[in-house]
């Protein structure tokens, strides 16, 4: 063989930095193992050497070309180069086979290394995805609504805490607006208070416009001049909004330094954290909206009950305050008899509404001073059924129906409307029967003065087991002072005074902006 390029061999440098690195690394290994000098030539270059030509044409085999007693051996490398070395003709075939085996081993080792790195990277990704999934799940399942508005802080904290962990933030601030969306409330921090309230407000002032369009992400604030705060290096700011109402902003401050040393690890906050913040904030916003709706529903409920009580009292002004007193006595007696708080609330509500059926009784009977004849008595006794008819279509008031319908049953079965006996009479009916009688006896009427507490107590005692549940009468009498206190301290609500028109413009109801 002739025309060995010899010194003219050029190390291939242009194709790819790491590709050339790989080829020269492999050449070094071949050098060390074969104990000869191994050069790398560019496969694209024209070469006169038969061995190199053959190597370019047929990779994965080492090619030998000999002149006299020196042989040239060429072997195609994976990244485009060709390894070339010389050997004695006698040992050339062995050297070629040896070199080929070493190359195969090294290439396999290199591939294993790359695949291992890839598996590591995929594993890291799967771990992250698991963390993210579990965070989103935990946020979704810890959605129990607080029962009162005061628990807002705790509720917000219960979702900011896991969120801070999930996005790797040092601390997350929740800044909420007041009801009119005019000013911000005291910020809620998941951890360390990194910024003062004023600094947070300044941050919000500066970025709230951008936040209303998309999540705001800023990294390396110390080098930029956008926002200066000594403690803030980077942040993600998300607007918390639902159903057209702005609740506030959630701001993740400062990323915890990640200890992963993978080359593709990213510093600061990225879209990965931003989208998590987005998801969590949307859930929070939906929950805040739900809380508001729940409160509105409860308010509406209370207001409807008040309106019904007002309706009865408008018909029968002499019983003014009677419903509220009976309700208060009922609450006290229910509590004394060991009922649960929700049962006690129900008894109170039933007390407020127990006489709502009197709306249906004609004035001549309802407002008649003095004794009623049998006919009139029959009419007034329809008020329990009338109460049931008025209320039975209100789903939210189903629980009060037994008390409304059965507060005139007698323990011995001689009452109305159904003549129920003993414990068959629902508990609210039994409780309110006692309370109703006590209030009727002790309160003043236009045609008579109310009797003394002691006298009323005597009558209750005498009717135990006949009219009233003897256990409840015992409880009532042994705690008589409590009931007397409620009676004495009770102040009937004053009738509302309607605002007069101002300059001829009526002024009733709410203005629209406070209806939010």
Instruction: Please give the residue ranges that form the binding site for another protein (CB under 8 A).
Output: 15-19, 114, 117-118, 121-125, 129, 132, 214-219, 262-264, 266, 270-272, 274-275
CA distance 489 to 252: 53
What does each C-alpha distance from 147 to 184, 290, 296, 468 come to in angstroms? 23, 11, 13, 36
Per-residue b/e over 335-361, b at no fewer than 16 CB within 10 Å?
Answer: bbbebeeebbebbbbbbbbbbbbbbbb
Nearer to another protein, 253 or 432 (CB): 253
Closer of 273 and 328 to another protein (Cβ):
273
CB of 111 to another protein, least distance (A): 12
Q: How far is CA 101 from the centre of its chain?
A: 62
Selection from 169, 161, 190 nearest residue 252 by Cα: 169
CA distance 239 to 245: 11
Whole-number Å distance between alpha carbons of 288 and 248: 11
Nearer to another protein, 10 or 445 (CB): 10
Give the shortest CB-275-to-another protein separation in angstroms: 7
Which residue, 3 or 123, is less far from another protein as judged by CB? 123
**Cα–Cα distance list, 419 to 18, 76, 181, 414, 433 (Å):** 98, 107, 57, 5, 14
Query: What's the distance, CA 376 to chain centroid?
Result: 58
DSSP 3-state of 203: helix
User: Which one, 13 or 424, has the nearer CB to another protein?
Assistant: 13
The size of the chain, in residues, is 516
Min separation Cβ 62 and another protein, Å: 27
Q: Half-sphere exposure of 42 toward its Cβ, with a 13 Å CA cutoff?
A: 11
Rounded Cα gap, residues 474 and 488, in angstroms: 21
Closer to another protein by Cβ: residue 184 or 266: 266
Percent helix, percent strand, percent coil in the chain, to nearest 5 = 55, 10, 35
**How buried is residue 315: exposed, middle or buried, by Cβ count under 10 Å (0-12/13-18/19+)?**
middle
**Least CB distance to another protein at residue 35 (A):** 33
Residue linked to tokens 């879209």: 271
Q: Which residue has the tokens 């008819």?
A: 389
Nearer to another protein, 15 or 486 (CB): 15
Per-residue burial over 75-104, b if 16 or more Cβ lie within 10 Å, else e, is bbbbbbbbbbbbbeeeebeebbebbbebbe
Nearer to another protein, 105 or 262 (CB): 262
Beta-ladder partners of 33: none
- In angstroms, what is the minimal distance from the CB of 118 to another protein? 4
3-state secondary structure of 424: helix
Q: Looking at beta carbons only, is 125 or 340 nearer to another protein?
A: 125
Residue 108 vs 267, nearer CB to another protein: 267
Supply the minimum distance, in Å, between the C-beta of residue 273 and another protein.
Answer: 9
- In the numeric block, the tokens 């018909």 are attached to 315
Residue 133 beta carbon to another protein: minimum distance, rounded to whole angstroms? 11
For the CB of residue 431, give the shortest distance to another protein in the complex, in Å: 60
Closest approach of another protein to the CB of residue 352, in Å: 55
Q: Closer CB to another protein, residue 114 or residue 134?
A: 114
Residue 247 DSSP symbol: E
At residue 145, the 3 state secondary structure works out as coil
Smallest gap, in angstroms, from Cβ of residue 498 to another protein?
55
Query: Can you tell me the distance from the alpha carbon of 227 to that of 415, in angstroms, rounded to the nearest whole number?
Result: 78
Residue 511's DSSP bridge partners are none
Closest separation between CB of residue 271 and another protein, Å? 4
CB of residue 270 to another protein, shortest distance in Å: 3
Q: Report the residue number, 214 or 310, with the smaller CB distance to another protein.
A: 214
């Amino acid at each position: 063989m002739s025309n060995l390029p010899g010194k003219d061999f050029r190390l291939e440098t242009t194709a790819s930095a790491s590709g050339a690195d790989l080829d020269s690394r492999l050449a070094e290994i071949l050098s060390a193992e074969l104990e000869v000098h191994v050069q790398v030539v560019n496969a694209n270059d024209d070469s006169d050497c038969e061995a190199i030509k053959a190597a370019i044409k047929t990779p994965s085999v080492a090619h030998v070309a000999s002149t006299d007693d020196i042989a040239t051996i060429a072997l195609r490398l994976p990244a485009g180069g060709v390894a070339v070395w010389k050997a004695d003709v006698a040992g050339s075939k062995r050297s070629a086979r040896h070199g080929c085996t070493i190359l195969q081993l090294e290439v396999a080792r290199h591939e294993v290394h790359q695949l291992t790195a890839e598996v590591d990277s995929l594993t890291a990704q799967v771990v992250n995805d698991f963390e993210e999934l579990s965070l989103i799940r935990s946020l979704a399942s810890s959605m129990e609504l607080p029962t009162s508005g005061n628990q807002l802080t705790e509720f917000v904290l219960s979702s900011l805490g896991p969120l801070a962990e999930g996005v790797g933030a040092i601390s997350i601030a929740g800044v909420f607006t007041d009801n009119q969306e005019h000013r911000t409330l005291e910020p809620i921090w998941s951890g360390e208070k990194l910024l003062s309230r004023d600094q947070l407000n300044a941050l919000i002032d500066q970025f709230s416009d951008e936040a209303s369009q998309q999540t705001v992400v800023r990294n390396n604030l110390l080098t930029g001049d956008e926002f200066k705060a000594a403690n803030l290096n980077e942040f993600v700011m998300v607007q918390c909004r639902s159903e057209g109402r702005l609740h506030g902003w959630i701001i993740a401050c400062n990323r915890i330094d990640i200890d992963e040393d993978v080359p593709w690890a990213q510093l600061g906050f990225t879209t990965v954290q931003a989208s998590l913040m987005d998801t969590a904030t949307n859930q929070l916003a939906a929950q805040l909206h739900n809380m508001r709706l729940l409160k509105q529903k409860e308010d509406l409920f209370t207001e409807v009950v008040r309106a019904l009580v007002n309706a009865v009292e408008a018909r029968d002004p002499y019983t003014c305050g009677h419903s509220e007193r009976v309700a208060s006595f009922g609450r006290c007696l229910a509590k004394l008899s060991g009922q649960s708080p929700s049962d006690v609330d129900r008894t109170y509500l039933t007390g407020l509404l127990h006489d709502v059926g009197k709306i249906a009784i004609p004035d001549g009977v309802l407002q008649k001073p003095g004794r009623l004849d049998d006919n009139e008595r029959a009419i007034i006794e329809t008020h329990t059924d009338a109460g049931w008819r008025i209320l039975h279509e209100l789903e939210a008031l189903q629980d009060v129906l037994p008390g409304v319908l059965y507060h005139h049953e007698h323990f011995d079965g001689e009452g109305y409307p159904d003549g129920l006996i003993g414990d068959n009479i629902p508990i609210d009916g039994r409780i309110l029967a006692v309370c109703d009688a006590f209030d009727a006896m002790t309160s003043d009427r236009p045609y008579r003065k109310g009797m003394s507490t002691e006298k009323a107590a005597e009558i209750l005692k005498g009717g135990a087991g006949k009219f009233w549940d003897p256990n409840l009468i015992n409880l009532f009498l042994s705690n008589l002072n409590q009931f007397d206190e409620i009676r004495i301290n009770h102040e009937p609500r004053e009738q509302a005074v309607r605002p007069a028109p101002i300059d001829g413009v009526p002024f009733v109801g709410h203005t629209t902006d406070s209806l939010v």
